[in-house]
Amino acid sequence: MRKHYLKHYVLVFAMLLVSGIAFAQTSSITGIAVDTKGETLPGVSVTIDGTTTGTATDINGAFKLNVAPGTYTLTAKYLGYANATQTVTVGAGAANVTFRMESQSQSLNEVVVIGYGTQLKKELTGAITTVSSKDFQKGTITSPEQLINGKVAGVQIVSAGGQPGAGSEITVRAGASLTASNRPLIVIDNVPLSSDGISGVANPLAMINPNDIETFTVLKDANATAIYGSRASNGVILITTKKGSSGKPQINFSTQNSLATIARKVNVLSASQLRDYVNTNGNDAQKALLGDATTDWQDKIYRSAFTTDNNISLSGTTKNTPYRVNIGYLNQDGILMKDKMDRLSGAISVSPRFFDNHLKIDLNIKGSYNRSTFANQSAIGSALLFDPTQPIKSGNEAYGGYFEWEFPVGTLNPNAARNPVGLIELQDNVTIDSIASDA
């Protein structure tokens, strides 16, 4: 009996000891959230990064989180304020944190371009979003739509392919039709771009030099797009180009250069691996088809692609007439051999003012010459399927000297993969020369 009671005492003592240890290991993080003026902010969300643990500040802006000792990164979020992050180390006692939240309010006196002029932002009632040049995406930009990718809520921009000048599919608020086109209407300096685009151009926006663009304005709802009628059923994107500036003449030159390579090749059998497999598992007829070469077909069709984008502009004012002249040249190689785009663009903008600046006239002349070469993309799939034990060329003049699988009678085997290098070099690569201008 005594042993039985002794077991109970030991068990109770052990439970108390464990709970005491657990209690000793629990600490807390306390703090307060205030604005830049020191006023407390109730309802601020405070979370521990990488976990689901979080809380909100009370009416006095205070909060408390029970945690184990350690180092934590806390993030405070509040509507209309920038997120605040702090790292705190918690010991045996409580740690204290103060979040100072900075306001992200926007000026309502900003002038916004709309379909029939300009208007103060605070007077707008339609769904309109403006992105100015200071907020554009940075980096090597070759087509205007890349400037606002991810910058406008409700606007989806999906690349149509990796070829230079291939363009993107743009939809505003997910589109309005299941069968018809969901492309928005593009308006450049109050001139609508035809819904059919420019003949022979895969991406009409590629004709525009991104360096010439000042702002994008996206009209999303019926109220904002009403002036354009049914053409604007999928939304409207207004593009305003740069104009002359007041003051002395200024010359600006910019150049951007980049080198692109394929990030990762598809993992396929090498020539030696294929030989080992066929020699182990194949029959005599299959073994006889093996070649003596070692060819990495993906290496043969891909390359390091160089891009250079150069712009020079002259702007200023002469006799109360602001002006701007810009010339740009873009040369972009594609990762796939033979893919290439060249664009030479020019723009002249003159904005004379009359009657003590009560009358302003904008005169714009733009021109662009594009040459786009699109290689045969069938070579990409062939590079994954073609026999790596075969050489690039076999001396067969019927196919320009390139190796191809043939029937015994000398005709091409339609069920076999084609030589990927031959597909690029022999088949006509589509080259498009385009000239666009407006005034």
Contact, 106 vs 113, CB < 8 A?
no
Task: For residue 411, give the DSSP letter.
Answer: -
Question: HSE (CB half, 13 Å, CA atoms) of 205?
Answer: 26
Domain boundary among 209, 241, 273: 241
Residues 200 and 295 in one domain: no
State the Cα–Cα distance between residues 255 and 115, nearest whole angstrom: 34
Give the bridge partners for 258, in sequence order: 307
Answer whether residue 203 shows pLDDT above 70.
no
Residues 209 and 78 in one domain: no
In a domain, 19, yes or no: no
In a domain, 8, yes or no: no
Predicted pLDDT of residue 230: 78
Answer whether residue 50 shows pLDDT above 60.
yes
Residues 196 and 270 in one domain: no
In a domain, 256, yes or no: no
How many structural domains comprise the chain? 3
Rg of the chain in Å (alpha carbons): 33
CATH number, residue 80: 2.60.40.1120
Give the bridge partners for 312, in sequence order: 253, 327
Residues 123 and 217 in one domain: yes
In a domain, 84, yes or no: yes
Which residues touch 339 (CB under 8 Å, ≥6 apart)? 163, 164, 305, 333, 373, 374, 375
Residues 199 and 294 in one domain: no
Residues 295 and 408 in one domain: yes
In a domain, 72, yes or no: yes
Which residues touch 420 (CB under 8 Å, ≥6 apart)? 297, 300, 301, 379, 380, 382, 383, 386
In a domain, 163, yes or no: yes
- pLDDT tens digits for range 127-137: 778 888 888 88
Which is it for strands 70-77 and 45-48: parallel, antiparallel or unpaired?
antiparallel
Residues 208 and 171 in one domain: yes
How far, CA to CA in Å, does 138 sit from each of 133, 203, 211, 365? 10, 21, 12, 26
Residues 275 and 138 in one domain: no
Residues 289 and 390 in one domain: yes
Whether this prediction's pTM lies above 0.75 is answered by no
Domain boundary among 101, 134, 152: 101
In a domain, 9, yes or no: no
- pLDDT tens digits for range 300-355: 999 999 999 999 999 999 888 899 999 999 999 999 999 999 999 999 999 888 88
Q: Which two tokens stand for residue 168?
A: 């993107």
State the Cα–Cα distance between residues 369 and 327, nearest whole angstrom: 12
Contact, 294 vs 270, CB < 8 A?
yes
Name the residue range of residue 232's domain: 111-241
Q: Assign residue 364 a region: left if phi > 0, alpha if psi is -120 to 50, beta otherwise?
A: beta
Which residues touch 47 (CB under 8 Å, ≥6 apart)? 53, 54, 74, 75, 77
Answer whether residue 193 shows pLDDT above 80.
no
Residues 194 and 61 in one domain: no
Looking at 24-33, 99-108, 123-132, 240-249, which range is the least confident one?
A: 123-132
In a domain, 335, yes or no: no
Residues 285 and 433 in one domain: yes
State the Cα–Cα distance between residues 148 and 138, nearest whole angstrom: 10
Residues 48 and 130 in one domain: no
Cα 37 to chain center, whole Å? 38
